[in-house]
Amino acid sequence: MRAFVSLARAMFKGFLRDRTSLFFTLFFPLFFIIIFGTVFSDQGAAKQKVELVGEVPLISSLPADARAGLDEVFQLSTGDDLGAAVESVRKGDLAAAVQQQGDTIEVHYSAADQVGSATVLGVLNSFIGQANIAATGSPPKYTLSQQTVEDASLKAIQYVTPGMIGYGIAIGATFGAAMTLITWRDKKLLRRLRLAPISTASVVGSRVVVSLLVALVQLVIFIGVASLPFLGLKLTGSWWMAVPLTLAGTLAFLSIGLFVGAIAKTAEGGAALANLITLPMAFLSGAFIPLEVAPGWIQGVAKVLPMGWLVTGLKDVMVRGQGPGAALLPIAILLAFSVVVGAIATRFFKWDKA
Amino acid sequence: MADTIVVTDLVKSYESKNAVDGVTFSVADGEFFGILGPNGAGKTTTLEMIEGLREPDSGSVSLLGMSPWPRNSKLLPRIGVQLQASAFFEQLTAREQLHTFVDLYGQSMARVDELLEMVGLQDKAGTRAEKLSGGQAQRLSIACSLVNDPEVVFLDEPTAALDPQARRNLWDVLRDINDRGKTVVLTTHYMDEAESLCDRVAIMDNGKILQLGPPAVLVRGLDAPVRISVEQAVLDADSARGLPGADQVEQDGSSTIITTRTPSPVLSALAERDALDGLQVRGATLEDVFLDLTGREYRA
């Protein structure tokens, strides 16, 4: 027990004092959380830029709440020069230029930006429709009540955080295990330990415990920072299931790290191999980009990757409001993966370089 | 008393080449034993089989009356092993390294300071292992091999790549370990180191022991001539040739060098003439023994 604690302490101190490992396991994912969380805080399509040329009473006389609704989708500006405004539309700087002559609303838009122009036309049409109904003096017969489903805000931080937790845990565990194995073997520390009266279980167990501990530290820091007001992560119901998910994910990537450490001969080769495995996996698993917008084949690939299960499980419980049961299948798959890859790694394990 | 280490007809081959080819020797309790030879002679492989890191292809090893292979947990607490000066935990200070090893061996924390003092690293206790100089790192790794107060200490080329001053400082540490009654087995490719430290040396080349014995005996067995040199100003070559027992006389820039197999009459004749200024007497060394055994110049 004393040997085990001592080894774990030595490894943990080594981790905390190594700037490179700290950077990649903590600051790098944190950096992504902050960048994506702030830059894309206005989620959804950017507002359409619409210029009102001259007086447009239909819009300028709108009641405050209706005007606020319009401002949600349009970035309105005003001008007097129709020619200049149309030229801006042509260049793509404006989505549309709007003019009112008597009771006719004239919209100048570019067919090149179909989405933008369709948005503008649709919104303006509905405003005109409402204005027409209002002009008849009778109350509208149908009303549209809106209710969003699942993650209420759809802000970027909601999917960036689970993705980066998954990625951060993956590289932390993979590199931690691989580098310990490679450098200890290279420096003959492994052989030195083999000649000390300690069990192999102490050596392996301490590495596992340190990795689990590091992963929990990552989880706490990432969630803590993402929940700061300027990033505004909103956790849903059974987010605490992220803890067992994180632990299971750590074991899965520890086994990958042990495998890398067993077959790589040099630290450089091991780092390259670990990156070669974790980086593409991160892209294919929805860690960087939401799987929902990814092509279908990526969604399929994500189903066979441990990081895919980890990230999807984390999203389900942390931001999609799913119950604790949603994490059970990912946890089971991650644990099974750990056992299989761990067994393979054991077969390739060498105490010595020679 | 039974020998601490008994090695019988040890063989280990890699890719059909015999790295160790029928090695037999024994080491007595408390002895300082050296395995000497150039790189690739098979010294380290021999040592690793005795330590229990490698399985011999054939032959046997008995260490403290037990077999070190397979990994023998009864043996491990009784031996100390220094493998290489880099076998440290990354980013830990000298004190923390020792602390960790003391924990691994279940020893008392008081050992940490004792060992730091013993190898003269008190000033460097707070320095990370990566920042230690070559000599300091070697001393730390030796200290790590001593945490369990072992009966037998194995040192694999402890002074490799050190400057002469650091080597001599380390020799003092090693003598001190042996003086505490520990059996010490060391490999080295430095002839002077083996000569200065070891009670007995085994000279190895190409996986075989060429000769084994106390350094002085090996050197004497050569019956090699002694070279006596004095300042040219006190004795010129012609008068040197007239000395009794002088076999051959040469001159270099400032000295007259007399080669003789009977140094006593030469030296007393020199003393009579009061011609001892700058006197140097150089006998054969283990290097000469190696040259004699292999017919080739010793290259470490």
Q: Over 60: is that where the pLDDT of A331 sits?
A: yes
The CATH number of the domain holding residue A78 is 3.40.190
DSSP result, B189-212: S-HHHHHHH-SEEEEEETTEEEEE
Tell which of A78, A110, A136 closes a domain.
Answer: A136
The pairing of strands B200-205 and B32-36 is: parallel
Does one domain contain both A211 and A315? yes
Peptide linkage before B70 cis (omega within 30 of 0): yes
Q: Quick one: pLDDT at residue B201?
A: 94
Of A9, A18, A196, the CB nearest to B105: A196
Write the DSSP symbol of residue B128.
Answer: B
Q: Over 80: is that where the pLDDT of A43 sits?
A: no
- Residue A67 belongs to a domain: yes
Share of chain A above pLDDT 70, in %: 95
Phi-psi region of A286 (alpha: psi -120 to 50; beta: other; left: phi over 0): left
Which residues 44-73 of chain B have a CB within 8 Å of chain A? 51-53, 71, 73
The topology under which CATH files domain B225-283 is Alpha-Beta Plaits (3.30.70)
User: Which of B90, B98, B102, B148 has the most A C-beta neighbours within 10 Å, making it the best mutation to test the interface with A?
Assistant: B90
Q: Are A86 and A108 in contact (CB under 8 A)?
A: yes
Run of H or E including A261: helix A242-263
Residue of A nearest to B104 (CA): A3
Q: What is the pLDDT of residues A3-22, one digit of tens each?
A: 999 999 999 999 999 888 88
A188 close to B (CB below 8 A): yes
Question: Chain A closest CA to B109's CA: distance in Å?
Answer: 12
In the block, tokens 């209002």 appear at: A134
Which residues 17-36 of chain A have a CB within 8 Å of chain B? 17-18
Does one domain contain both A198 and A79? no
Q: Over 70: is that where the pLDDT of B238 sits?
A: yes
Does one domain contain both A182 and A232? yes
- Say whether A14 and B79 touch across the interface (CB within 8 A): no
User: Which of A1, A193, A195, A210 has the most B C-beta neighbours within 10 Å, making it the best mutation to test the interface with B?
Assistant: A195
Domain boundaries, chain B: 5-214, 225-283
B87 close to A (CB below 8 A): yes
Write the DSSP symbol of residue A311.
Answer: H
Average pLDDT, integer, range A40-62 = 74
Q: Over 80: is that where the pLDDT of A150 sits?
A: no
The CA-atom distances, in angstroms, between A101 and each of A57, A88, A96, A185, A259 are 10, 21, 16, 82, 73
Does one domain contain both A277 and A180? yes
Q: Over 90: is that where the pLDDT of A48 sits?
A: no
Does one domain contain both A166 and A273? yes
- Residue A255 pLDDT class (50, 70, 90 cuts): very high
Does one domain contain both A57 and A131? yes
A5 close to B (CB below 8 A): yes
Q: Where are the alpha helices (DSSP H) in B72-214?
A: 94-104, 110-118, 134-145, 164-179, 191-197
Tell which of A68, A102, A136 closes a domain.
Answer: A136
Does one domain contain both A187 and A57? no
Does one domain contain both A220 and A327? yes
Distance CA B116, CA B127 (A): 12
Residue of B nearest to A6 (CA): B100
Tell me the chain B residues in contact with residue A354 when contact means C-beta distances shorter than 8 Å: 14
Tell me which of B180 and B16 has the higher pLDDT: B180
Q: What is the pLDDT of residues B2-31, one digit of tens each?
A: 799 999 999 999 887 888 999 999 999 999
Average pLDDT, integer, range A218-237 = 91
Mean pLDDT of chain A: 87
Cα torsion A117, A122, A125, A130 to 10°: value is -150
Q: What is the pLDDT of residues B27-49, one digit of tens each?
A: 999 999 999 988 888 999 999 99
| Three-state SS at B16 | coil
- Residue A147 belongs to a domain: no
Q: Over 60: is that where the pLDDT of A154 sits?
A: no
Tell me the chain A residues in contact with residue B99 when contact means C-beta distances shorter than 8 Å: 6
Q: Quick one: pLDDT at residue B191?
A: 83
Q: Quick one: pLDDT at residue A17?
A: 92
| Three-state SS at B251 | strand
Tell which of A109, A136, A163 closes a domain.
Answer: A136
Of B83, B90, B101, the CB nearest to A18: B90
CA-wise closest residue to B156 among B184, B119, B176: B184
Instruction: Give me the phi and psi of B111, to 5 degrees please.
Output: -60, -35
Of A7, A187, A354, the CB nearest to B88: A187
Phi-psi region of B279 (alpha: psi -120 to 50; beta: other; left: phi over 0): beta
Q: Over 50: is that where the pLDDT of A152 sits?
A: no
Of A3, A18, A195, the CB nearest to B103: A3
Q: What is the pLDDT of residues A94-121, one digit of tens each?
A: 888 888 888 888 888 887 777 777 888 8
* Total number of domains in chain A: 2
Run of H or E including A114: helix A114-136
Q: Over 80: is that where the pLDDT of A258 sits?
A: yes
Q: Quick one: pLDDT at residue B190?
A: 85
Does one domain contain both A130 and A173? no
Does one domain contain both A167 and A90? no
Distance CA A73, CA A46 (A): 8
Q: Tell me yes or no: is domain B5-214 CATH 3.40.980.20.
A: no
Tokens at residue A281, please? Answer: 């996996």
Q: A282 CB contacts (<8 Å, ≥6 apart)?
A: A163, A166, A167, A170, A288, A307
- Residue A148 belongs to a domain: no
CA-wise closest residue to A116 among A73, A54, A86: A73
Does one domain contain both A284 and A313? yes
Tell me the chain B residues in contact with residue A17 when contact means C-beta distances shorter than 8 Å: 91, 128
Question: Chain A closest CA to B245's CA: distance in Å?
Answer: 55
Q: Quick one: pLDDT at residue A46?
A: 63
By the 10 Å C-beta count (0-12 exposed, 13-18 middle, 19+ buried), B63 is classed as buried
Average pLDDT, integer, range B205-232 = 87
Q: A271 CB contacts (<8 Å, ≥6 apart)?
A: A175, A178, A179
Q: What is the pLDDT of residues B42-95, one digit of tens each?
A: 999 999 999 999 999 999 999 999 999 888 989 999 999 998 778 899 999 999
Does one domain contain both A10 and A132? no
Query: Which residue range(s) make up the domain with A10?
Result: 2-41+153-348
Q: Quick one: pLDDT at residue B1?
A: 56
